[in-house]
Chain A
Amino acid sequence: MTEAVEVSDAIAVERTLAGDRDAYRVLVERHSRMVYGMAYRMTGDAHEAEEVVQEAFVRGYQKLRQFAGQANFGTWVYRIAANYAIDRIRQRKVQESRMTTASRPDEEALELDPVSNLRDRAPSPERLAESGQLAERMRAALETLSPAERTAIVMRHWDGCGIEEIAAVLRSNSNATKNTVFRAVQKLRRALEPFLEGKAHVIGTEG
């Protein structure tokens, strides 16, 4: 983010606070695509991601007075969106686990198994062909992560956030957050390995 954008954002915030609602439009239009990228990777769904973006900007507007003087607006609204997205995927996991409990006798073992989880969500071959295999594989692989792991890897890898910033969203400490990132990479690796295998070297196991 350039300094000029930061200054222009700060002016838009001031004008919004002074009652000029259209000034907020500048902020929404400038930052919504960046927030969308994160929201899509968090939710795995275009429609849900757009809802996360809308909600983040509405919440941002309501809390705008708290923003005054803080870092930059983009980072701030990104964090609001990340907080909302993690709540949302947590809620979804809870609902899904309830549904699984109702329909399956041995749900615990299945739920704990990332591979079966991935298999359940594996897209149809047609869909893979339509929209690009890798993006679909990644979407399915991200579904095997817990909400915290997913948030951690999305923020760390794709958005280049620092550990402290991620820890603030997870409301955790930095060591635990580093471990969460590690677990996420490990799970993604397990989930993607069959797909990446063709091009991979086979490694030995002895020490």
Chain B
Amino acid sequence: MRHRTEEELIAYRYGETKEREAIAAHLRECAQCRAEMEQIEKVYTAMSAAAVPEPGEEFERRVWQKVALRLEDSKPKWWAGLLEPRRLALVGAVAALVLLAFYLGRKTGTVGPVLEQAEAGKVRERVLVVAVGEHLGRSEMVLMELENAQTRENQKTVNIAATQRRAEDLVEENRLYRETALETGDQVMAKTLDELERALLDIANSPEEVTPAQFEVIRKRIEAQGLLFKVRVVKHGLEERKASPNAKPAENQAGATERKKA
């Protein structure tokens, strides 16, 4: 008689097993597994009994007052999310680029009073181009780390904690750039960033220690999407836009490649 694993018992507890009847029958016969199930059940009982502290009678009113204050000017703006404290470091880096772009503009004499507004738009776009380019560079490193990782023969587990932490770092800024790309109508960029975000989350959500077989599965899933290639193509497109700001951004090679594949 085979004892049931913890995983099987938890799946049974959630009603998510195909072996429901077999496990139920086993539990009737096997005192040891029944005891194990009782232990697991205690965790659930503790979970259900642990209450959330009462936020107070005024809670709803307090939330509304705070929310109402913020609705005054809350039409979506591409930069709206930037003002959260945790994003300020990123904004700092972008602001430095704005200053640099402004300084370069002054030096080459392209900023005249009439053209200022148009120039401001271009500067903003150039700043984004640089920031997204750097983000893609960092993401490329994470994907390459996974692609190039060697697993030794007989190795029992692979620790991907360090790569995971870098992936977690990138998820938030990726979401910001993806939303910006969507709002500015850059579909190809938005699609690539969307796929990238899924892969980054896939890495971030995996266990820190995986078996070589599980590791292969993660790697294959990312490889199957040709993501590294797409990221490189979009990054290359951005580099070209950076070098020649007047180049058309609408069409880029990732889109063309996708269509060819189709």
Segment 29-75 of A: residues with Cβ below 8 Å from B: 29, 32-33, 36-37, 40-41, 46, 49-50, 53-54, 57-58, 61-63
Residue of A nearest to B37 (CB): A203
A201: which B residues are within 8 A, CB to CB?
A: 35, 38-39
Contact A36 B46 (CB under 8 A): no
Please, how many angstroms separate the alpha-carbon atoms of A66 and B27 in the complex?
48
Q: Of B108-116, B138-146, B195-203, which binds chain A?
A: B195-203
Instruction: Tell whether A87 is near chain B: CB-to-CB under 8 Å.
Output: yes
Q: Of B68-76, B121-129, B223-231, which binds chain A?
A: B68-76
Contact A171 B198 (CB under 8 A): yes
Segment 179-227 of B: residues with Cβ below 8 Å from A: 197-198, 201-202, 204-209
Quick one: given A29-B64, A61-B74, A171-B197, are A90 and B53 in contact (CB under 8 Å)?
A: no
Quick one: given A40-B52, A134-B49, are A91 and B172 in contact (CB under 8 Å)?
A: yes
Contact B49 A200 (CB under 8 A): no
Instruction: Tell whether B44 is near chain A: CB-to-CB under 8 Å.
Output: yes
- Taking the nearest CB of chain B, how far is it from the CB of A8, in angstroms? 16
Contact A24 B202 (CB under 8 A): no
Contact B16 A178 (CB under 8 A): yes
Contact A54 B16 (CB under 8 A): no
Query: How does the 8 Å CB contact mask read for A73-116 relative to B, with 1 for contact and 0 for none?
Result: 00000000000000110110110010000000000100110000
B261: which A residues are within 8 A, CB to CB?
A: none
B46: which A residues are within 8 A, CB to CB?
A: 134, 137-138, 192, 195-196
Contact B172 A87 (CB under 8 A): yes
Segment 116-140 of A: residues with Cβ below 8 Å from B: 131-132, 134-135, 137-139
Quick one: given A97-B165, A171-B201, are A36 and B67 in contact (CB under 8 Å)?
A: no
Segment 184-205 of A: residues with Cβ below 8 Å from B: 185-186, 188-189, 192-193, 195-196, 199-201, 203-204
- Taking the nearest CB of chain B, how far is it from the CB of A206, in angstroms? 8
Number of A-B residue pairs with CB-CB distance less than 8 Å in the complex they form: 156
A40: which B residues are within 8 A, CB to CB?
A: 52-53
Specify the main secondary structure of chain B where it touches its partner: helix
Contact A28 B168 (CB under 8 A): no
Please, how many angstroms separate the alpha-carbon atoms of A40 and B93 in the complex?
33
Contact B53 A131 (CB under 8 A): yes
Specify the main secondary structure of chain A where it touches its partner: helix
Kindly list 16 other residue pairs between chains A and B, CB separation below 8 angstroms, not including A91-B172, A171-B202, A192-B43: A25-B64, A28-B63, A40-B52, A50-B59, A54-B66, A57-B67, A58-B71, A62-B76, A87-B175, A90-B171, A146-B205, A178-B11, A185-B10, A195-B46, A200-B42, A201-B39
Subset of 14 A-B contacts with CB under 8 Å = A28-B63, A28-B67, A46-B53, A49-B55, A53-B63, A61-B67, A90-B172, A91-B172, A97-B165, A135-B51, A135-B53, A148-B205, A189-B40, A207-B2
Could you list which residues of chain A lie within 8 angstroms of chain B, going by C-beta atoms? 21, 24-25, 28-29, 32-33, 36-37, 40-41, 46, 49-50, 53-54, 57-58, 61-63, 87-88, 90-91, 93-94, 97, 108, 111-112, 131-132, 134-135, 137-139, 146-148, 153, 156-158, 163, 170-172, 176, 178, 180-183, 185-186, 188-189, 192-193, 195-196, 199-201, 203-204, 207
Could you list which residues of chain B lie within 8 angstroms of chain A, going by C-beta atoms? 2-3, 6-7, 10-11, 14, 16, 32, 35-36, 38-40, 42-44, 46-53, 55, 59-64, 66-68, 70-71, 74-76, 80, 86, 159, 161, 165, 168-169, 171-172, 175, 197-198, 201-202, 204-209
